[in-house]
């Protein structure tokens, strides 16, 4: 697959990419004394690999969004949201937590010297910013390419984005979507995600309704093309209640009906279309793209002792210069 000939821009879920780089590094290095830089180095390598992939030849601007809290509406809807992640962090030593957070902070400092526009907004997660940037770029006629392994961001494909999945290193668009979604159509993806839940984010779906049964419900249901996920859920539950008068519902179907109110809260929490809020100021900020600053970048590399980059700086810097020339 090749990227559209339209002008395109990368929109990176930075915390997702950096976290993958941290845990792809030797965890013993994170636990050991001394300086840990594996996450920063690994993230730079990931960015370079993405930009040199032939499917990215049309990419110009590069945006990276970083976590900075959680939207209040999400925490109100799901008080246990990401509790398991908080508990995992609490199990780490203070030194380990500082080292891991330091990787994210250092990327935020370094990436602008490669022309990456780094953005972080209070009470917004990275994917809220990513989704908002997708809307801004589409309005401006630019093809957004979302970089993430977070499947919640697959919902942006329905809006017109493409997603570069960090797990498979494949590009997902409206034509290939169902090859990456367990066969679930993209207009039913959000409801499917609500039914299944997400253990990694502490989101409970409908008990007993796993991926196979949720997919079955999505394929059996007759929804109008323009229905929102909320209306799809209401129609699904109403249809199941109507069936219940004629036959006994299957256990997972009854679970969906019994947990309708909870599933509405899940949908409100995981929907990203309007989760960021107004985008006017974001749109203005996205026009302020930094230039590649080779000297500054190499000073960072010298400080971090990235000798392999210092030995061949063009191998890392040139893909960013090429992207800059296509803005």
Per-residue pLDDT of the chain (327 residues; tens, 9 = 90+): 445 456 899 999 999 999 999 887 755 554 445 578 889 999 999 999 999 999 998 999 999 999 999 999 999 999 988 877 766 766 677 777 788 889 999 999 999 999 999 999 999 999 999 999 999 999 999 999 999 999 999 999 999 999 999 999 999 999 999 999 999 999 999 999 999 999 889 999 999 999 999 999 999 999 999 999 999 999 999 999 998 776 789 999 999 999 999 999 999 999 999 999 999 999 999 999 999 999 999 999 999 999 999 999 999 999 999 999 999
| Maximum distance among all Cα pairs of the chain, rounded to whole angstroms | 74
Identify the pLDDT of residue 54: 92
Residue 54: domain span: 8-182+273-325
Here the CATH number for the domain that contains residue 35 is: 3.40.50.1010
Residue that finishes a domain, picked among 254, 270, 286: 270
The pTM score is 0.93
Is-contact 44 239, C-beta < 8 A? no
Neighbours of 236 (CB within 10 A): 24
Looking at residue 293, what DSSP letter applies? -
One domain, residues 127 and 141:
yes
80 occurs within a structural domain: yes
Identify the pLDDT of residue 32: 47
Residue 70's SS3 state is coil
Compute the radius of gyration of the chain from its Cα atoms. 21
Residue that finishes a domain, picked among 238, 255, 270: 270
One domain, residues 22 and 56:
yes
One domain, residues 205 and 303:
no
Identify the pLDDT of residue 173: 97
Q: Burial of 227 by CB count in 10 Å (0-12 exposed, 13-18 middle, 19+ buried)?
A: middle
Extract the tokens encoding 229.
């996920």
Residue that finishes a domain, picked among 249, 270, 291: 270
One domain, residues 178 and 99:
yes
Here the CATH number for the domain that contains residue 208 is: 1.10.150
One domain, residues 192 and 175:
no
Identify the pLDDT of residue 80: 86
Residue 142's SS3 state is coil
Q: Angle CA(93)–CA(96)–CA(99) in degrees, nearest 5?
A: 150
Domain count of the fold of the chain = 2
* Residue 210 dihedral angles phi and psi, to the nearest 5°: -85, -175
C-alpha 291: how far from chain center = 25
Q: Where are the beta strands (DSSP E) in the chain?
A: 8-13, 59-66, 117-120, 143-148, 162-165, 170-172, 197-198, 203-204
**Residue 21 CB partners (closer than 8 Å, separation 6+):** 38, 39, 40, 41, 42, 43, 45, 46, 103
Identify the pLDDT of residue 26: 54
One domain, residues 92 and 144:
yes
* Residue 152 dihedral angles phi and psi, to the nearest 5°: -60, -30
User: What is the pairing mode between strands 203-204 and 197-198?
Assistant: antiparallel
- 202 phi-psi bin (left φ>0, alpha ψ -120 to 50, beta other): left
Q: Which of 53, 112, 206, 128 is nearest to 120 (CA)?
A: 128
**Residue 124 CB partners (closer than 8 Å, separation 6+):** 67, 68, 69, 71, 275, 276
């Amino acid at each position: 697959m090749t990227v559209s000939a339209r002008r395109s821009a990368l929109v990176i879920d930075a915390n997702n990419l950096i976290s993958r780089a941290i845990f792809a590094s030797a965890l013993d290095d994170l636990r050991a004394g001394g300086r840990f830089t594996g996450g920063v180095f690994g993230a730079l390598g990931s960015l370079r690999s993405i930009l040199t992939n032939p499917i990215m030849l049309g990419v110009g601007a590069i945006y990276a969004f970083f976590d900075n809290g959680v939207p209040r509406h999400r925490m109100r809807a799901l008080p246990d949201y990401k509790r398991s992640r908080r508990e995992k962090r609490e199990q780490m030593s203070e030194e380990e937590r500082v080292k891991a957070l330091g990787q994210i902070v250092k990327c935020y400092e370094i990436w602008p010297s490669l022309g990456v526009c780094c953005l972080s907004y209070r009470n917004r997660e990275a994917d809220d910013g990513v989704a908002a940037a997708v809307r801004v770029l589409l309005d401006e006629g630019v093809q957004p390419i979302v970089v993430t392994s977070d499947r919640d961001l697959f919902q942006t494909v329905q809006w017109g984005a493409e997603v570069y999945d960090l797990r498979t290193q494949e590009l997902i668009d409206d034509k290939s979507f169902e090859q990456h979604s367990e066969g679930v159509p993209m207009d039913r993806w959000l409801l499917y995600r609500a039914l299944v839940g997400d253990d990694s984010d502490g989101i409970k779906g409908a008990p007993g309704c796993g991926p196979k049964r949720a997919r079955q419900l999505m394929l059996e249901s007759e929804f109008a093309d323009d229905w929102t996920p909320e209306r799809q859920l209401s129609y699904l539950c109403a249809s199941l209640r109507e069936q219940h008068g004629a036959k006994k519902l299957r256990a997972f179907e009854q679970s969906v009906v019994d947990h309708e109110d909870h599933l509405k809260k899940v949908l409100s929490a995981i929907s990203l279309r309007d989760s960021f809020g107004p985008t006017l100021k974001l749109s203005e900020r996205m026009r302020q793209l930094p230039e590649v600053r080779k000297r500054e970048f190499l000073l960072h590399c010298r400080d971090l002792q990235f000798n392999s980059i210092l030995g061949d700086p063009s191998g890392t810097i040139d893909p960013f210069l090429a992207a800059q020339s296509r803005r």
